[in-house]
Amino acid sequence: MAGVLALSSTSPAAAVVGGDRAEIRKYPWTVALASSQDVKNPDCAGTLVAPRKVLTASHCVNPATVDLMRVVGGRENLRDTAKGTVRKIVQAWIHPKARTEGPGATYAHDIAVLTLNAPMPYRTLPLATPAQPSLYEEGTPNRVLGWGSTTGRENDDRVPPLQTALIPNRGDKQCVTAYGSRRYDKRYTMCLGYPAGGVSACQGDSGGPVVVKGRLVGVVSGGGSCRSRLYPGVAVKVAAYYPLLKNLTAR
């Protein structure tokens, strides 16, 4: 499995470590991003926010090879190719301030919007808005979903069925301590993890949904470790980009 993550010199946090199997019928807006050559092995995840629009992480999208990417929906087990729907990508918008590698790397702005060649026949997920600050309160449980590693081992090549976990909003202090205020800009990012660690998004979950009360509140971006209590997971705050995303996804 080609986990696509950045922003860490240790094992990056991007199926979900410490999670449980999820039924795709309950979370039909969760989609996988994979190569057209191997749709059974996802690189990242994403969220269907309109019939032809997928919100994911910018570091999951390479403009030079986007025509070779596929979006897979309605498939709980990605090896079950008789089920679900596969779509091509006809356009990719990447946040112009996204900087996930090199000098000035930051989790902020790690978002991208993909336009599909045809609508997906699944329910979409509404975006969190700036008028819903309670969705981002410290201690709030956040549902995270993906097909990434369940072990936290960097070279784990097994692809589990869709996994999910409830992970609390850790508050900003621990992530600022772990990553610095430049890399973790609390205006645009959110910190996810238990005080004891052990439950997190992991390799392959990047770009996947973070959900509270039926709203997409975040996009999984990265972190320092899939299990460490000192290096929680980081997601991009959807509400911080709401006017922009509303415009992009309505086209």
The catalytic position among 8, 11, 59, 205 is 59
53-56 and 38-50 strand pairing? antiparallel
Instruction: State the number of CA atoms in the 13 A half-sphere of 34 facing the CB.
Output: 23
CA distance 169 to 199: 12
The catalytic position among 110, 156, 185, 205 is 110
The catalytic position among 58, 149, 200, 206 is 206
206 flagged as catalytic:
yes
Q: Which residue has the tokens 């979903």?
A: 145
Instruction: Give 102-105's long-range contacts (Cβ < 8 A, gap of 24+).
Output: 104/182, 105/6, 105/7, 105/183
Q: What is the DSSP letter of 7?
A: S
Q: Which residues are catalytically annotated?
A: 59, 110, 206
